Amino acid sequence: MKLNKFSSVIISISVIGWFIIALFLFDAVSINAENDPEQVNVYKKLKLFNEVLFKLQENYVDDIDIDVLIDAAIKGMLDETDPHTTYFTPDEFERFNTDTKGEFGGLGISIDKKGEYITVVSPIEGTPAYNMGILSGDRIVKVDGENVVGISTDEVIKKMRGEKGTKVLIGIERPGVEEELKFEIIRDIIKIESIPYAFKLDNGIGYIRIRQFNANTTKELREKLDTLEEEGISGLLIDLRFNPGGLLREAVDTVNEFIGKDKRVVFTKGKTPQANLEYKTRYNRIRNGYPVIVLINEASASAAEIFSGSLQDWDKGLVVGKTSFGKGSVQRLFPLSDGNGLKVTTAKYYINSGRCIHKDLNDMILKGEDVSDEEIENAEEEHIKDVHYTENGRIVYGGGGINPDIEIDQKRLSDFEMELRRNNSFFDFSIEYLLEEQDEIDVNFRTNDDIITDFMELIEKQGIEFEQADLDSSYTWISNEIRNNVVSRKFGPVEGYKIIIEEDAQLQEALSLFDKFSNLQEMFEFAETLKLTQQN
């Protein structure tokens, strides 16, 4: 609100009132200074804050928006805490609560602030941003031509969200690409299915992709597992890659499905008694009869780490992939007056083995602080020293995310392949192709040289430059991307996804373990042998 003469008087009275209250409180507690000097110091600082606010309001050359000023002061105060402690205005608080329910309007990306940049943690499969080729690690620098570097995450979210069907122009800085990339994306209602994909593969292995842990995850997981078990699966792969986490209780309840009732999953430690809690499984449910593999990567965080680490701790699942993100802190929501809200880090969580997987360096990085090579090296040394044991005595480590039992790398897209994704080439081609060949396409659709030639003609019209070597090295990938887009648009995203995972090298290597070993114990023994070989 802008100040006029009348509002200036009211605000002056309000500020003076707070000033008097602060003085009164200070005088009231000064008597007990010797008993509680820390409390007295708080009131001293409150007095100082009121003095500054009063002098500024009375003497600053221009009109001041007091609401904005105080909100900025609150956010500035929280900047001295960790990056997960956040103040919400009423609109922001409502949006945050909406997100945890599993539905919102927008583009379909999970983002976080790293330094001054809003950075894509992961695009959500099947959403406009994912289909346009937004990648993990992309930095959002402009929204509709407006520079958003240095702006808060919540402000950028507000700018990107909008009515379904409206357009937004996103400017992206991508590592390794010199020029700014521009994406014109049509907004849509983003319905976040916790488990978008669950099906039995041709080799008899069940596949489940958990995208995040929201209020429906346990219910969805039980239904998917029931269906897969009825189909007679011989093993189960749970894919938690790019899963940013979610609700702690849902993580515990999903772990319940594999370890049974009355087993400790998580305990938390904080400053207050109510922050020191223990979470045990509560349902008389346990799935068995087949080996379980959990696939994680560097973007698997929070509740996803509780799930994967807990199955590892209880020796109920083999964890493969890359070391997870390392977000082991717990946040609690506090509703404030006038619809505002506060998300506060109240504790750190420890999984059953006693390890806390939180990487303190991540908090520094997310706040934009410089981290030296020496600090990274020291953190890794401390991580290896923090030894814990699973239920059956296998060694695991704390303080550095969830380390996979078997490390598996992921193949990266080439510059040429990323350019095809960014230009939405497969989407455009599939629409044109379906217009002409709709009746001829079945779920087993395959490409041929003629189809690939037509596709290359389209990308030449789009102005994408390439060499014959680019086409040769990417031929199979291009073929699968065309198949995925065509089949997805006719038969739905699940059928298209089955095609995409054929080229997912990390996933395919994980699946190959089921062919080599018939049970978890054999997998654990192989993982231990592999580690010893690598150490030597």
Tokens 């003629």, located at residue: 450
Compute the distance between CA of residue 246 and CA of residue 307 in angstroms, rounded to an integer: 11
Q: In the chain, what are the helix, strand and coil shares in percent, each to the nearest 5?
A: 45, 20, 35
Which residues neighbour 374 within 8 Å (Cβ) at sequence distance 6 or greater? none
Annotated active-site residue 373? The verdict is no
Tokens 């449910």, located at residue: 285
Compute the distance between CA of residue 179 and CA of residue 386 in angstroms, rounded to an integer: 43
Compute the distance between CA of residue 412 and CA of residue 417 in angstroms, rounded to an integer: 10
- The catalytic position among 327, 343, 359, 498 is 327
Bridge-based pairing state of the strands 341-351 and 406-407:
unpaired
Tokens standing for residue 229: 């078990």
- The catalytic position among 110, 194, 300, 302 is 302
198, containing H or E segment:
strand 197-200
- The catalytic position among 82, 239, 313, 363 is 313
Buried b (16+ CB within 10 A) or exposed e, 257-275: bbbbeebbbbbbebeeeeb
Compute the distance between CA of residue 153 and CA of residue 156 in angstroms, rounded to an integer: 5
Type of residue found at 258: F
Which residues neighbour 351 within 8 Å (Cβ) at sequence distance 6 or greater? 265, 266, 306, 309, 310, 313, 357
Query: Both ends of the chain: CA-CA distance in Å?
Result: 68
Longest dimension (CA), the chain: 89
Annotated active-site residue 302? The verdict is yes
Annotated active-site residue 329? The verdict is no
Please spell the DSSP secondary structure of 145-192, one letter per residue. Answer: TEE-TT--HHHHHHHH---TT-EEEEEEE-TT--SPEEEEEE-EEEE-
> How many C-beta neighbours within 10 Å does residue 406 have?
19
- Catalytically active residues are 302, 313, 327
